[in-house]
Amino acid sequence: MVQRFRLPEGGLIDRSRPLEFRFDGQLLEGFAGDSLASALLANGIHLVGRSFKYHRPRGIFTAGPEEPNALLQLGEDPRTDPNSRATQTELVEGLSARTQNCWPSVRFDVGEVNSLVSRLFPAGFYYKTFMWPASLWMQYEAVIRRAAGLGKSPTRRDPARYDKTFAHCDVLVVGAGPAGLAAALAAGRSGARVLLVEQDHSLGGSLLGDPEDRIDGLPALAWVAEAEAELAAMAEVRILRRTVAYAYNDHNYVLLHERVTDHLSGEPEHLPRHRLWKLRAKQVVLAAGAIERPLVFADNDRPGIMLASACRTYVNRYAVKPGERAVVFTNNDSGYGAAIDMRAAGMQIAAVVDLRENPEGPLTDAAEAEGIRVLAGHAVTGTQGRLRLSGIRVAPLNAEGDRVFGAGEPIECDLLAVSGGWSPTVHLFSQSGGKLAWSEEQGCYRPGEAAQATLCAGAVNGAFGLAGTLREGHQAGEQAASAAGFPPKQSKKLHFEAGDESFLPARWLWLVPSDKPLGRGGKAFHELQNDVTAADLHLALDEGYSSIEHVKRYTTTGMGTDQGKLGNLNAIGIVAERLRRPLPEVGVTTFRPPYVPVSFGAFAGRDVDELLDPIRKTAMHGWHEKNGAVFEDVGQWRRPWYYPRGGETMHEAVNREVEACRASIGILDASTLGKIDIQGPDSAEFLNRVYTNAWSKLGIGRCRYGLMLGEDGMVSDDGVTARLGEQHYLMTTTSGNAAAVLAHLEEWLQTEWPELRVYMTSVTEQYATASISGPNARALMAELTDDIDLSPEAFPHMSLTHGTVAGLPARVFRISFTGEAGYEINVSARSGLALWQALVTAGEKYAITPFGTEAMHVLRAEKGYIIVGQETDGSVTPIDLGMDWIVSKRKDFVGKRSLSRPDMLLPDRKQLVGLLTEEPDTVLPEGAQLVEQLKPEPPMTMLGHVTSSYYSPNLGRSIAMALVKGGRDKQGQRLWAPLADGRKIACSICEPVFVDPKGERLHA
């Protein structure tokens, strides 16, 4: 448990709090304040994984969110996270991390054989190798996934809790480095509501890895502490740590992912693990900094090769030596900072290899003054070492930068720090719709014209000096706050006296030449995570791909979980050079959210299990449950489907319920039917316009069935509407469609006929409805009411009345969906259960039978009543249904004109018919296709399909309804239903009414 590479002093770690953790089972120690990556490096561990395709050994490469290699499996199933960046994982006591994508171990990995046959894995190898036969793709895919896997998802339910929250602010500041802190201070002092988000657990950004800087005479981190204290004291400022702004959407809608408890050992009850913030900001200040770029040269991927800035961070922030003897390979001044800091930490600096012929810059000068060996105009032409870097070769470059002289001088080292310049973190800016602008001098894309209320400050804007960064941040903060309505107040003077050195000038060589031809002497990776080399890019171009978006997809450049944070610009540069075109002409691939991967748990939040979708229950639901109902979902409603007794099958239960209804009396919970209260002097005119039939003459206390169409003439809903008073109607709709019908009506009323004085409101949930039907329905009603005249003359079919039923004030409709005489009794929802129980108790002597939706469907199908959504599918007109009788010729209504469009008049439109199977016990499957001419094999000409099909116990045979081309003229004709299981069912077309076609039972 010796941290061999830990420096004796320094760093932002708490040496009084040692933490134990496991890496591939091995027990190790780090300190509080460590990242998992820094703790591994403190123990001398660089090798953390195998590469995606070639299974090459890979080491920790960065110290931040751009990490392509150190992707580890954290925790144990089911509390496990795959592909976690060790560089951004805070060390906690007991943390368990495992390597991925290697077997049996990271040191000895069988998959490494891929490296020896790498010519089998050229660019686009998926497309080339697995083209044929297509039927084997599933097998190929399984093998590929196993071989080139990332981490493993949990196999069991994640026990952690996740949350989502909404927030608003005046100014969102993304990033708490020097620019972000200055912006937050400026905006906060103006009184604006400021949200400062920082992905790290500490504020300071680049200053954390560069503590020698001074701001206004203070050590940089003391300045950070002062800023933090001032911000914390502001009532309107909120700081979110461990939070990444991962998506920048329209109208300054920014999504944040906060890791709330991952850094704690144990999970406090009162906190969610992660929190997803849906934030709307008036103004956004992006202070996201910049990411250092690697250099692309032969075998640039061995463990022990790291970004120079990461080396600095490990030495300065974590007090860890990333090696003993280092070479720095750079094309700019900032690489020298790593050399100086590593030397100060006691490491040997074998050399700084600089692509520039005449290196200059303050850090360059300082390094040379310290006597560090500088090889100017040189390039690293190759590297050695299998599981860890052991040496490199260095050769002089020609003036053009496309050749080296000789095989090169070998230099022994265990660390190679590389710096290829800096790429501003423009991801969010680009996501916001802002245009990127190419800077030739800085060799990077910078934010150009903004598309939203967005300001950029600091390194993200191409300001790489500290003083300039601070001033930009402060100015952006003031500007954003002003724009949000908070002009700057008299505040304390800010000087921002600090160094202002930049990394420029640099020498841009997108592909560093080697003494061997590209692709022959080692692999030059521009994309580490997906194992893509410069040779792959050349191959893609040679094969004819020239758009950068195509090259990206063909080679999989930038398509790993890091989305090319390190490699994309190098790829664009290599492509531009090969095409001999200026780099900006090649374009830039699209930046897409999320900036870093976000846990699925955060997306789901609490919208799981019973909270995924609301369940609507009627007032009688408890009774249905107690009486053994099996439920079905109708929209969000949960309705009794059937009520099995004893050991009844569904078929037996439904038959019993159907027979009881025709023989004596059945009772159905009809509370779910949509109910819309319509009032106002123009209500009748409104109904005339939205229904196909006429409403003006409907008397008070009478009901009428109505069919509603879309303007395209297709049936959209149906239901019974009753006239309650002179200017008062109650419309019923299908259960699943109530909200949509109300929305449809409101749309017409508000947008097309605002002159109509009509007012609508949903009263679906205000009433509970029990529907009783059958020959004994009237007898039962008579026992429960003494103020309603139930005689057919006083209370005929399609009428309504008010009275008292079972002691409850009730509105009673005499309507029927079963074809039997029936009553729908509406009481206030809270009395629904009392009504139901009274009916069931009083109905015992008639063997009253509760029936569910399935029996209801059989009963209505026996009568040929349609169900919208079952007999119709949005392409069916009333004429197709044979319901011409309900379509007014005299008045206009929504959809009427469409009914005379030529296509609507074609004789071979699908029309509603009845179907009887020749074998009476065979029930056709709903959806079965129908043909006239049977052939041994498909294809056959399909004439239509079965829409409803049941066994009718009252008829002792099966019945069905179907939509058949020209079906009404094919009465008696024989059709076939060839089924997938090989059966071919013969049936014949009939009228779609099977029971009581004259309606004698209905009017009884």
Partner 1 sequence: MLLIDCPYCGPRAELEFSYGGEAHIVRPKDPEALSDAEWGDYLFMRKNTKGVFLERWCHSHGCRRWFNVARDTVTYEILAVYEMGSEPPALPERNLV
Q: Which of 751, 791, 933, 941 binds partner 1 (CB under 8 A)?
A: 751
| One-letter amino acid of 168 | H
449: contact with partner 1 by CB under 8 A:
no
Q: Which of 752, 789, 884, 919 binds partner 1 (CB under 8 A)?
A: 752
Which residues are bridge partners to 163 per DSSP? Answer: 275
| One-letter amino acid of 662 | R
Q: How many residues bind partner 1 (CB under 8 A)?
A: 23
747: contact with partner 1 by CB under 8 A:
yes
- Beta strands 47-50 and 57-59, pairing class: antiparallel
Distance CA 1004, CA 795 (A): 11
Which residue, among 479, 489, 482, 422, has the nearest Cα to 456 in the 3D structure? 479
Residue nearer to partner 1 on the CB measure, 334 or 688: 688
**Residue 136: CB minimum distance to partner 1, A:** 42
**Residue 455: CB minimum distance to partner 1, A:** 17
**Residue 727: CB minimum distance to partner 1, A:** 21
Residue nearer to partner 1 on the CB measure, 222 or 739: 739
Residue nearer to partner 1 on the CB measure, 263 or 278: 278
Q: Which of 491, 547, 649, 750 binds partner 1 (CB under 8 A)?
A: 750
**Residue 249: CB minimum distance to partner 1, A:** 6
**Residue 765: CB minimum distance to partner 1, A:** 16
- Beta strands 243-249 and 532-533, pairing class: unpaired
**Residue 644: CB minimum distance to partner 1, A:** 39
921: contact with partner 1 by CB under 8 A:
no
Distance CA 639, CA 902 (A): 41
Residue nearer to partner 1 on the CB measure, 565 or 689: 689
The answer to whether 673 touches 734, Cβ cutoff 8 Å, is yes
Determine the interface stretch with partner 1 among 294-302, 727-735, 891-899, 968-976 (rule: CB under 8 A): 891-899
Determine the interface stretch with partner 1 among 335-343, 533-541, 584-592, 740-748 (rule: CB under 8 A): 740-748
Residue nearer to partner 1 on the CB measure, 348 or 679: 679
433: contact with partner 1 by CB under 8 A:
yes
728: contact with partner 1 by CB under 8 A:
no
**Residue 689: CB minimum distance to partner 1, A:** 10
Q: Name every residue whose Cβ is closer than 8 Å to that of residue 744 and which is 6 or more positions away in sequence.
A: 690, 708, 716, 717
592: contact with partner 1 by CB under 8 A:
no
Q: What is the DSSP secondary structure assignment for residue 109, as one 8-state letter?
A: B
682: contact with partner 1 by CB under 8 A:
no
Residue nearer to partner 1 on the CB measure, 445 or 893: 893
Residue nearer to partner 1 on the CB measure, 167 or 588: 167
The answer to whether 201 touches 155, Cβ cutoff 8 Å, is no
754: contact with partner 1 by CB under 8 A:
yes
SS3 label, residue 550: helix
Q: Which of residues 693-712 bind partner 1 (CB under 8 A)?
A: 711-712
Q: Which of 901, 935, 983, 1003 binds partner 1 (CB under 8 A)?
A: 901
634: contact with partner 1 by CB under 8 A:
no
Determine the interface stretch with partner 1 among 62-70, 467-475, 747-755, 989-997 (rule: CB under 8 A): 747-755
The answer to whether 429 touches 450, Cβ cutoff 8 Å, is yes
Of the CA atoms within 13 Å of residue 384, those in its CB half-sphere come to 10
897: contact with partner 1 by CB under 8 A:
yes
Q: Which helix (H) or strand (E) holds 532?
A: strand 532-533
SS3 label, residue 986: strand
The answer to whether 927 touches 741, Cβ cutoff 8 Å, is no
Per residue, what are the HEC states of 707-756?
A: EEECCCCCEEEEEEEEEEECCEEEEEECHHHHHHHHHHHHHHHHHCCCCC
Q: Where are the beta strands (DSSP E) in 586-636?
A: 630-634
Q: Which of 238, 702, 896, 957 binds partner 1 (CB under 8 A)?
A: 896
Evaluate the omega torsion of the peptide bond into residue 133 and state whether it is cis, within 30 degrees of 0: yes
Site string for partner 1, 846-885 (x = CB under 8 A): ----------------------------------------
Of the CA atoms within 13 Å of residue 399, those in its CB half-sphere come to 0
Burial label for 873, CB within 10 Å (0-12, 13-18, 19+), is middle
888: contact with partner 1 by CB under 8 A:
no
Which residues are bridge partners to 950 per DSSP? Answer: 959
Which residue in this structure is represented by tokens 């090889």? 375
* Buried-state track 825-843, b at ≥16 Cβ within 10 A, e below 16: bbbebebbbbbbebbbebb
**Residue 288: CB minimum distance to partner 1, A:** 22
Distance CA 102, CA 111 (A): 7
SS3 label, residue 464: coil
Residue nearer to partner 1 on the CB measure, 515 or 712: 712
253: contact with partner 1 by CB under 8 A:
yes
Residue nearer to partner 1 on the CB measure, 762 or 799: 762
Determine the interface stretch with partner 1 among 659-667, 741-749, 789-797, 959-967 (rule: CB under 8 A): 741-749
Which residues are bridge partners to 29 per DSSP? Answer: 20
Residue nearer to partner 1 on the CB measure, 146 or 251: 251
Which residue, among 915, 933, 913, 918, has the nearest Cα to 978 in the 3D structure? 933
**Residue 550: CB minimum distance to partner 1, A:** 25
The answer to whether 818 touches 856, Cβ cutoff 8 Å, is yes
Residue nearer to partner 1 on the CB measure, 218 or 451: 451
The answer to whether 991 touches 864, Cβ cutoff 8 Å, is yes
Q: Which of 96, 118, 202, 249 binds partner 1 (CB under 8 A)?
A: 249
Residue nearer to partner 1 on the CB measure, 373 or 896: 896
Residue nearer to partner 1 on the CB measure, 82 or 878: 878
746: contact with partner 1 by CB under 8 A:
yes
743: contact with partner 1 by CB under 8 A:
yes
Q: What is the DSSP secondary structure assignment for residue 404, as one 8-state letter?
A: B
892: contact with partner 1 by CB under 8 A:
yes
What's the token pair of residue 543? 């094969």
Site string for partner 1, 272-311 (x = CB under 8 A): --------x-------------------------------
Site residues (vs partner 1, CB under 8 A): 249-253, 280, 433, 451, 711-712, 743, 746-747, 750-752, 754, 892, 896-898, 901-902
